Structures are given as structure tokens and as C-alpha cells.
Amino acid sequence: MRAVLLLSPEKLVLTEKEEEPVGHGEVKVAIRAVGICGSDLHTFKGLNPNARLPVIMGHEIAGEVAEIGGGVIGAEVGDRVVIEPLLRCGKCFHCVRGDYNRCTDLKIMGVHSDGGFCEYVVVKESMIYELPKEMTYAEGAMVEPTAASVHAAIKRGRIDLGESVAILGSGTIGLLLLQIVKACGASFVLVTDVVESRLKVARRLGADLVVDVREEDPVKLALEQTGGLGVDVAFEAVGKEVVLKQALQMTRAGGRVIIIGIYGRPSVKIDVMKTIFNKELVMKGSRVYSSGDFDRAIDLIRRREINVEPLLTHLLPLEETEKGIKLMIEHKEKAIKVHLKP
């Protein structure tokens, strides 16, 4: 099969790779759509500390079951599916409780092991979810980032009716978070970015205030909008020190700051006393998704509670993977989500 391999940072090759055999309890999925994630951009640049090169990137995968192994009872050839790309042990303290994103041996397809920038993947039956017939493959490939946003907003952020929320960064995750916190009943949502076209999409998707941080101070505006108090919850969906500082400053005492952005440079310097201790802030990480999040994400897209269509800006053939990655790095004004079609 054709596969796009990242040999070393910034060195991608289209290569021919032998297809993996389908073992007991496994299914082979013919990939119909796979998204390029912001974390793939980090991996491409050599800035993802979790990545193990060489690797086939890609973890936002939808496709069609092409072959099933022995013992598979819930899938048939021809089924339309989405893949939950987490390889977990299934036995540790966290896995047993359904918090498999905290598995002591967690591996993510396309990061620690080969992913979906290729024609076929072989996965355990437990990793596939049925793609409802009302949804396209492109929408199917949006389930993974939607599940991560559901996890961040609901399980980690615990958004409640009437709360004020700041979403820092309006890439795919920010724009999905926006729609989810609105659906949860947030009454005021501020969204920031440095790209005007993305802020336009945010406004169209229901943001109450959009802030171009090149021109305006988001902390000042967040405080103004909340009577000087600060927002109840801030989501850091960029992965930069300066943005984390904004989140800490604009959140009210006793509020929550949720980190969902990936930090290419993970060491940051913050004033713990002023920003966390004195304010009794709660700061939480939000990593991928756990039990139930994928089902919820599929349902939200199927019922059109979440509109992924404005985010889907490009569809390219697998051969143009590098072009897609560069579009997302260099042309943020045009590209939000780039999908590849093997």
C-alpha cells in the first residue's frame, strides 16, 4: 500500500509499505478520510516530545472495513467506521475505570506507532465505532478532534449553564470547543486568535466576542465583559506560554483553566502565588478522550448540534500530504482542517 512516512523532522516520503496481516480480534480499515491535526504539525517539525520517528502520522481516521480477523463479532466487511486511535493496556488502574487516556502505557496511533496517512490500518475491533449513515467520511474524520473537545469541555471543564468562557485559539479544537460550550449553556464565550478569517468562523459559530490578539488585549476585554471578575473557565487551545499566561490572568478566582493545546516548548515560567495560589485557580490538563467521549462526539455531529462543515477547508490526495501540512503551517488564514483521501 501507499504510505507517507515521516523519516525525520520535516522529511516526508511517499513509500510503498507491506500491508499488515489481520490478527484475531482485529479489523483492517480502508481509509477514506484522514485529518491533519495540529499535533501532526508539531510532530512534523520535530516538536512533539511523544513522537517516535520514523512514523506514519495521522490519527483522525474514517474508513470502510476491508477485512475482519477471527473472533470479530461486531463488524463486517463494508461497514463504515471511525477509529479511536488509542492503544491502551486495558488492565491498569486507569483503563479499568474507563479513563484509558491516562493508561500507564498509552500509545497513540500516528504518534507512538503508525497511523493513517496511508491506505489501510489494522486495529482492534474495540477501536472502531460505527459511522452513522447520515454522516460523510469527512465528518467521520472530525469525530476524533470533536471527542477531544467534548472531553475538555464536559469532563475536564465541567461547563455549566450560564457560565462565562474564554477559548484561546480558534483552530479546529477551539472552534469545536466553542460549539460544545454553547451547547452546554455557556452564556458568554470569548474566542481569541491571530488569524482574522478564523475569528470570522468563530463569530459565525456563535462566539459572543472575538478578539484579534494582535490588535487588542484579551485579558482586558475578558475582565471588562465580566465586571472585572474574570471568566469562569478558560481553555488554552494554542500551546504557548504567552497564551497560558493570558488564560491564568483572565480567569476569575476559583475558576478553571483547561490546557488542551500541545506545548512544543513545555517549560513555562508562571507566577504561582499571584496567578494560582492567591486566586485558588484550578488548572487541569485535557488529554485526548476517555470512555463515552467518542460516542458523544458522533452523536453531536450526527444530530447537527455541532457543525464541522465550516472547518473543513481542504481535501487533498495522499500524495499531497506535505502540501497539506505546509498549508496548515503557513496559511492559517486559508486552512483550518485539511483532510487527505488515500
Residues found near Zn ion in the complex (CB under 5 A): 37, 39, 88-89, 92, 95, 103
Pairing of strands 128-130, 80-83: antiparallel
Shortest gap between Cβ of 95 and Zn ion (angstroms)?
Answer: 3
Q: Which residues contact 25 (CB under 8 A, 6 or more apart)?
A: 69, 70, 71, 72, 124, 125
- Shorter beta-carbon distance to Zn ion: residue 136 or 172: 172
Shortest gap between Cβ of 286 and Zn ion (angstroms)?
Answer: 12
* Residue in the block written with cell 496511508: 118
- Shorter beta-carbon distance to Zn ion: residue 95 or 318: 95
Phi then psi for 7, rounded to 5 degrees? -75, -45
- The span from the first CA to the last CA of the chain, in angstroms, equals 10
Name which of 4, 110, 122 is nearest 57 in CA terms: 110
Asked if the bond preceding 310 is cis, omega within 30° of 0, the reply is no
- Shorter beta-carbon distance to Zn ion: residue 103 or 141: 103
Shortest gap between Cβ of 142 and Zn ion (angstroms)?
Answer: 11
Shortest gap between Cβ of 97 and Zn ion (angstroms)?
Answer: 10
- Shorter beta-carbon distance to Zn ion: residue 97 or 274: 97
Shortest gap between Cβ of 149 and Zn ion (angstroms)?
Answer: 11
Shortest gap between Cβ of 190 and Zn ion (angstroms)?
Answer: 24
- Shorter beta-carbon distance to Zn ion: residue 99 or 217: 99
Shortest gap between Cβ of 111 and Zn ion (angstroms)?
Answer: 9
Distance in angstroms (rounded) separating the CA atoms of residues 32 and 309:
17
- Shorter beta-carbon distance to Zn ion: residue 44 or 188: 44
For 151-263, where are the alpha helices, taking DSSP H only?
172-183, 196-204, 218-225, 241-250
Name which of 19, 27, 97 is nearest 56 in CA terms: 19
- Shorter beta-carbon distance to Zn ion: residue 22 or 29: 29
Do 57 and 44 form a contact (C-beta atoms < 8 A)?
yes
Q: Which residues contact 176 (CB under 8 A, 6 or more apart)?
A: 142, 145, 146, 149, 306, 308, 311
